[in-house]
Structure 1
Amino acid sequence: MPETLDLSGDVVALTAAICDIPSVSGDETTLADAIETALARSAQLEVLRDGDAIVARTHLGRSRRVVIAGHIDTVPVTANLPTSFRDAGTESEALWGRGTVDMKGGVAVALHLAATLAAPRWDVTWVFYDHEEVEAELNGLGRLARLHPEWLHGDLAILGEPTNGGIEGGCNGTLRADISTTGRAAHSARSWRGSNAIHAAAPILDRLAHYTAAEVEVDGLVYREGLNAVGISGGIAGNVIPDRCTVSVNYRFAPSATPEQAAAHVREVFEGFDVEVSDSAPGARPGLDALLVQEFVAAVTSVTGGVAGPKYGWTDVARFAELGIPAVNFGPGNPELAHADDEHCPTGQIRSCAAALRGWLTDDAGPDAGTPGIEE
């Protein structure tokens, strides 16, 4: 029997419900089916599906369209489901379990608002997609961008990634590269006959140790870059002088730079060495100079407090940026608890995010979302 979701009830209860439906990457179909069925009950929504990605959108003839998106998959469960509440009824009340932070809280907020806002002041496209926690080529949002780019059209995109209820604009780009040295193999008892490639890697590590990360201002936000060794390999046996060594580095670069510019910078830092870029992804500018983005930031911060900050990690806002859509991250949960065995999210944060987003979409902050007896 298919799972049943109550999208119009309490947003925290909805968060628990979607967390408790198995949805580890590759196993999202049951949750996707439940989401599709629940959204189809809303007459104001056109519901589309590609694989386990569900898109629901309004057609109200508004002057602007906003895309609000979130991934429905999680990393593997580690005895942290079903969900549970701790400190219930207090200000410290939290929902514990896999997905509560990354990112079923944000998904629940979007599902609740999709079903209960019959006439938002902007047209809205709600996107719930699969396979975010695995290889990039499987990413459901990437698949939609390739196969159905018209489904993602909008003037602003909001990704419900955990941000502790604040706004994090854009994201850094990321690049991985292998820096290699070569030597000459020899028996370690006659090491002078060889040339040790691992020893030759010392200057690589020295350059990394003395590297000063740049701080780059983009659209009013300051992004801190980083260049770090994330792995080192070399040698084939305990009695052989290694003839090759590879240091793997990760470069996080500000969204004002292209992957090509990032690669050129890495090659400049490691001039004289063999540099092979293995993977890269562009960042996303926050687009805070866009009027619609400024209105969203002002509306949300008036409810949740704080100011907009940069997203140092890479998120799927970069996919919207590639489509020419300014994008921000906004959702409940501490990102430092994402994927942790003790993953948990304050229930008050889920409610405040729902209230802030609902207030912006209706131009009326109103009472907390999901409270019984409230008409929305």
Structure 2
Amino acid sequence: MKTSILTFFAALMVVPFQLLFAQSAVKIAVVGLTHSHVHWILGREGVGDVEIVGIVEPNDDLAHRLMAQYGIDKQLLYPDMESLFAAVKPEAVTAFGSIYEHLAVVQACAPRGIHVMVEKPLAVSMEHANEMAELAKKHQIHLLTNYETTWYASNHELKKRLKAEEIGPVRRVIVNDGHEGPMEIGVNQEFLDWLTDPVLNGGGAVIDFGCYGANLMTWLMDGVKPISVTAELKQIKPNIYPKVDDEATILLEYPSAQGVIQASWNWPFSRKDMEVYGKTGYMVAKNSTRLLSRTEGQNQEKVETLAKRTNPFNDPFAYLAAVVRGEIQVSAKDLSSIENNLVVVEILDAAIESAKKGKRIYLKQ
């Protein structure tokens, strides 16, 4: 009897500790607050999977404004990454500064063994992207790229049905991403300043929205590069965006398929959707949960509303936590992977070159 009682109390002590360990939050730092997507993490409900242990932002006015808005302790603010790392060691960093600054974040984090997730796209150029990938590999950190469309149930259901050959081989994919323009929709000035800078952002709409199509097309093609890239970039509103393009059309050539990426700061409303045409039918991911389809033998289009994806595949920070904890293995073919996003940057580089030279650019295979 005495042994049984001791065993019972020992079990009571062990179980809570195990639960605490299983539910421990991944310690993350937010580097940069200028990207308006940072509201996603600052305003996220405290579900217990991540904990913000530090914020780096040299712009005090911006930092105090956002931290006050979300009730974040001012003691968590640091002026630079060196100050942050001297005080605390996060397990991962999420970067919400300019695309140009992504390289500096990885340069600081990788040697310290700190995982990194950046906002789309991975980098402003292949030079930056390659150095980031090499640092991640050398120091064995995860380097993820976050896109809103990664978490769309419609995109994942669409690919699942493609694999099942429900519409036959893919012939043509059209990815539409854009809105009225960053100035027109009223993004914060700190975001606008670098978003419309050809150095800090790498381009205009071609980078801001062209990256979605490059990411999704590379994913649908299982990581295979296109044979060639042809693009036209335009300045429809040079009085508003004098330094960068505000309209981009990119054609991707594959052996038996074509990708069309339409990226715009000129549309009458915001949209993020994808059309996939096969030999025997088509599917259209209209938004995160709405899927349209029609196949041979059907007299009309089928409209479905899908359930949202489940945790941790419904949210970038839940996904990051699961990756850091080793609960998810990132495949080279995944939307967030280094491999996919190196191809994305290569496509965007080629698109900019194609537009400048007025000719098709062939990629090294």
Fold shared by both chains (TM-score > 0.5): no
Bigger share in helix? 2
Larger Rg: 1
TM-score (norm 1): 0.23
Q: Which of the pair has the greater relative contact order for Cα pairs under 8 Å at 6+ separation?
A: 1
Alignment TM-score, normalising by the size of structure 2: 0.23
